Amino acid sequence: MKQNLTIHGGNIVTPKGIIENGTIVIEDGLIVDIRPSSTGRVASTDYNAKGRLVLPGMIDMHSDAIEHEMQPRPTSRFALEFSYYELERKLVSQGVTTIYHSLSMWGENTTNDFRKNQSVKEIVDSIWKLRKQEHLIHHRVHIRVEMTNDSVVPFVEEFIDNGVIDQISFMDHTPGQGQYRNTDVQKKFIMERQKKTEEEVMAILEERKTRTKINGEQLQKLADLAYNNGIPLASHDDDTIEKLDMVQKWRGTISEFPVDMEVAVEAKRRGLYVVMGAPNVMLGRSHSNNLSAQDAVKAGVVDILCSDYYPPAMIRAVFLLYNQGLGLTEAVNMVSLNPARALNIDHRTGSIEVGKEADLLIVKENQQSPVIEKVLVRGQVVCQMDYLSGLTAASLKGAERVEA
């Protein structure tokens, strides 16, 4: 059944600017017209967005949230299907309309069962089946290949051959380089996350240093297979110019979380999409004491923000940067059009343009903070939040009587 909707009077954030008091016409899930005014007859089924911003739905290209949803505590594990549906309810309320579930493949020597090869395969298969069923948002899969997982290659080859993954990244968490150049930071992180003693963690780190890495020929084979199948490839925690050379040899197009400004500047100069974490923006620093995302944005080297480990930071980071002086269009593009381009899906989503899917957010500003009121995916309202304005005097008296 064809669904039509018109949104009137909103300030529409497009890739190139803001259309004030504009109109968006949606037919059968697609944007068919964008008008610079809200004149014309308003039907009872239309939506009045006067005084609100209309933003494109956010695309989160790197999120560990599904792992945390399945295992919120080290000894508490929930089924994937339950976690999948609970997570998407959270994500849609946070303005994420396309999620790339980032699944790490550490191999059989990890203590995290979710990151073992066979476990990841089962999760990927389940997500593929679930995304075909009823859903609120678009679900995609981002496979993170740990370079010390020398048994991972056939699994990834199978994923690519079967067309069940949408992004791939190569990462190396060997102590002493990359994200954990400072091993004290890595030691503290593991101690706090896994509740281990310093001696236990030092033994883990020493063991990790001895692991055999995937050889260069195998990595290149995976990179070529991804490229030939149109799957975007990213590097992870680039800390040297030489690593950027490898990225380009792999025909990768994305540099995730460069660890210092020199590498970020060079990655940008080479035409790679530079990705930083929205939580880093919100906190004003990296949780592992690497490059500050705010500093990188000010230097003009950041293209994309992702949630990394905390999805609520996405829209908050956009408005924090906006309130610090960055153009709203530029800030919004970092969580919509730019990731869509990097992931080769900008032909259908990522911005408010005629012909694209109507993945939209209706947002009001409350004391410079964003408040999401309505979320549309393919033109259908999938989330609506009507906020109460506060307790009235009568309700306060009623509460006092109940307490008494």
Give the CA radius of gyration of the chain: 22
Alpha carbon distances (Å) from 302 to 216, 241, 278, 305: 29, 17, 11, 8
Of 245, 291, 249, which Cα lies nearest the Cα of 266? 245
* pLDDT tens digits, 329-340: 999 999 999 999
Question: Given a cut of 70, is residue 201 above it in pLDDT?
Answer: no
Number of domains in the chain: 2
What residue numbers bound the domain in which 377 lies?
Answer: 4-55+355-384
The identity of residue 155, as a single letter, is: F
CA 182 centroid distance within chain: 26
Largest CA distance in the chain: 74
**72 located within any domain:** yes
Are 102 and 216 part of one and the same domain?
yes
* pLDDT tens digits, 339-358: 999 999 999 999 999 999 99
Alpha carbon distances (Å) from 155 to 64, 117, 316, 343: 20, 7, 37, 22
The identity of residue 372, as a single letter, is: I
* Distance, CA of 6 to CA of 61 (rounded, Å): 29
**H-helix or E-strand containing 121?**
helix 117-130
**394 located within any domain:** no
**48 located within any domain:** yes
Q: Are 19 and 39 in contact (CB under 8 A)?
A: no
Instruction: Using pLDDT thresholds of 50, 70 and 90, give the confidence band for residue 1.
Output: very low
Q: Which two tokens stand for residue 392?
A: 């009235």
Q: Which residues face 13 on adjacent strands?
A: 18
* CATH number of the domain residue 371 falls in: 2.30.40.10
**188 located within any domain:** no
The answer to which of 38-47, 58-67, 68-77, 242-251 has the lowest mean pLDDT is: 38-47
Q: pTM, whole model, 2 decimals? A: 0.90
Alpha carbon distances (Å) from 50 to 16, 222, 382: 21, 50, 20
Q: Which two tokens stand for residue 319?
A: 């408005």
Q: So what's the pLDDT on residue 404?
A: 47
* pLDDT tens digits, 103-126: 999 887 777 788 899 999 999 999
**304 located within any domain:** yes
The string of DSSP letters for 11-53 reads EEE-SS-EEEEEEEEEETTEEEEEESS--S---TTSEE-TT-E
Are 295 and 312 part of one and the same domain?
yes
Of 186, 160, 159, which Cα lies nearest the Cα of 175? 186
Question: Given a cut of 50, is residue 236 above it in pLDDT?
Answer: yes
Are 362 and 282 part of one and the same domain?
no
Instruction: Using pLDDT thresholds of 50, 70 and 90, give the confidence band for residue 169.
Output: very high
Are 45 and 62 part of one and the same domain?
no
* Distance, CA of 62 to CA of 171 (rounded, Å): 13
Q: So what's the pLDDT on residue 110?
A: 74
The residue count for the chain: 404
Instruction: Using pLDDT thresholds of 50, 70 and 90, give the confidence band for residue 194.
Output: low
